[in-house]
A = this chain, B = another copy of it.
Amino acid sequence: MDPFLQAAIDEAQAGRDEGGIPIGSVIVHQGKIIGRGHNRRVQQGSAILHGEMDAFENAGRQSAQVYRESVLYTTLSPCPMCSGAILLYGIPKVVIGENQTFMGDEDLLRSRGVAVEVRQDPTCVGLMRDFIAAQPQLWNEDIGEP
């Protein structure tokens, strides 16, 4: 298993174990994790701390150079907000655990030159399938659906 995707999965599982939405992310610069995070909607009552956003926030203020040499790993296809953060900072490559339970803004990322790699990892799929089945309303809230 890719250790960085595994680290993102570890974050997702930590979120699930806290009663939250099981999506995790890490940002990797030159082979080292510089930021990691998971969705905090439930835990912090947050409308913006998706897993990827939490990883950006925990990475702290970085130079443009660092972002432009980094890879973002996320357990789930990134929504428009997280895709926008990836574009803002010029992250050149995104590795996605799966896009079977939710399709984010991958086409926008590709259209702007971001390399997008989807792994269809069964652990990532299972985390989201179980969560969506158990808490469909919470999931809809997280993606702005009624």
Contact = CB atoms under 8 A, between A and B. Distances in A.
Interface of A: 41, 45-48, 53, 56-57, 59-65, 67, 79-85, 87-90, 105, 108, 140-141, 143-146
A52 to B, nearest CB: 10
Contact of A144 (B41, B48, B89, B144): B89
Nearest to A50: B88
Contact of A141 (B61, B80, B144): B61
A57 B48 contact: yes
A27 to B, nearest CB: 10
B144 A67 contact: yes
Given A48-B53, A79-B84, A81-B85, A145 B61 contact: no
